């Protein structure tokens, strides 16, 4: 991806139609503000990417991220944010875990998009996924860190047709014990995206302690198993996550069964 001189803005199957309007995915910045929020309290994960200018060292951008910590630590409805750099492009942004879609949309509103456009010189990329089940494998919850070696991975697999939403959620929950035992896995958010009849996806947003843990899981055998099980290969996006920020506000807490946290 070309850089400009200014900042620019598994588990199972699910029938795409079963999601209704409960999830938005692959949403471009101007479009997201026009999507009605879900009436469901289901949490959502939002992935934001803003192209980094070629002249800005990553360390400088990371410093700017740290400056915004007080703002995000108390953002209404935001339960957790991993500040991120996308590996392939260098885009900066974040992996957000929101209490519900309404909270996410209240933040990513038209004024937010206009501000990004004005300050960065282009639109941000914003994608939102329903996250009905999540696992936090750290006792008492993933702690804050401003010097993390964590990496995040976004895994998406095309949705085959014919499987209902209830079965999908049952499959997610059935695999929770497996993911509670994966070495180095800090968090996993099981995700669903609606798309249209040809591009809906399911998968997960994973937060790993380090790159080695992630690569040990996403090995050749994993890719082969996904292809054999679902008839499609998985798409994986990699993000460095130098700053981890759980919310400091109790009202933002997400309780079971949506989020399962390891015991102290």
pLDDT confidence of residue 6: 28
Say what the pTM is.
0.85
B/e letters for 167-187, b = 16+ CB within 10 Å, e = fewer, are ebbebbeebbeebeebebbbb
Round to whole Å and give the CA distance between 244 and 241.
Answer: 7
Give me the pLDDT at residue 123, please: 85
> Residue 175's pLDDT is what?
94
- pLDDT (0 to 100) of residue 55: 82
- Position 214 scores a pLDDT of 98
The predicted pLDDT at position 36 comes to 40
pLDDT in tens, 193-233: 865 445 678 899 999 999 999 999 999 999 999 999 888 89
Residues of the chain with pLDDT below 70 are: 1-40, 163-165, 194-199
Q: What is the pLDDT of residue 39?
A: 45
| pLDDT for the residue numbered 249 | 94
pLDDT of residue 230: 84
Element spanning 10, H or E: none
pLDDT at 63: 95
| pLDDT value for 199 | 64
What is the number of other CB atoms lying within 10 angstroms of the CB of residue 35?
Answer: 15
CA gap 260, 78 in Å, rounded: 17
**Dihedral of the alpha carbons of 14, 19, 20, 21, in degrees to the nearest 10:** -140
How confident is the model at residue 183, as a pLDDT?
97
238: cis peptide before it, omega within 30°? Answer: no
pLDDT the model gives residue 111: 96
Residue 140 in 3-state DSSP? coil
């Amino acid at each position: 991806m070309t850089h400009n001189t200014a900042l620019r803005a598994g588990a199972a199957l699910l029938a795409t139609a079963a999601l209704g309007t409960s999830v938005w995915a692959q949403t471009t910045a101007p479009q997201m503000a026009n999507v009605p929020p879900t009436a469901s309290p289901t949490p959502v994960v939002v992935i934001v990417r803003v192209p980094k200018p070629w002249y800005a060292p990553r360390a400088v951008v990371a410093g700017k991220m740290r400056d915004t910590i007080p703002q995000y630590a108390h953002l209404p409805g935001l339960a957790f944010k991993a500040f991120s750099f996308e590996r392939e492009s260098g885009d900066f942004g974040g992996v957000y875990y929101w209490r519900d879609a309404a909270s996410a949309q209240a933040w990513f509103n038209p004024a937010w998009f206009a501000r990004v456009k004005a300050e960065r010189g282009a639109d941000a990329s914003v994608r939102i996924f329903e996250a009905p089940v999540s696992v936090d494998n750290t006792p008492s919850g993933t702690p804050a860190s401003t010097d993390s070696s964590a990496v995040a991975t976004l895994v998406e697999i095309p949705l085959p047709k014919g499987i209902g939403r209830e079965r999908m959620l049952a499959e997610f929950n059935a695999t929770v014990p497996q993911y509670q035992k994966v070495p180095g896995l800090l968090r996993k958010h099981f995700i669903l995206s609606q798309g249209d009849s040809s591009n809906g996806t399911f998968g997960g947003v994973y937060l790993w302690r380090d790159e080695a843990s992630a690569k040990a899981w996403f090995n050749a055998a994993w890719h082969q198993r996904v292809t054999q099980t679902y008839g499609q290969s998985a798409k994986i996006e990699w993000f460095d996550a130098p700053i981890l920020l759980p919310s400091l506000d109790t009202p933002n807490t997400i309780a079971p069964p949506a989020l399962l946290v390891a015991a102290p």
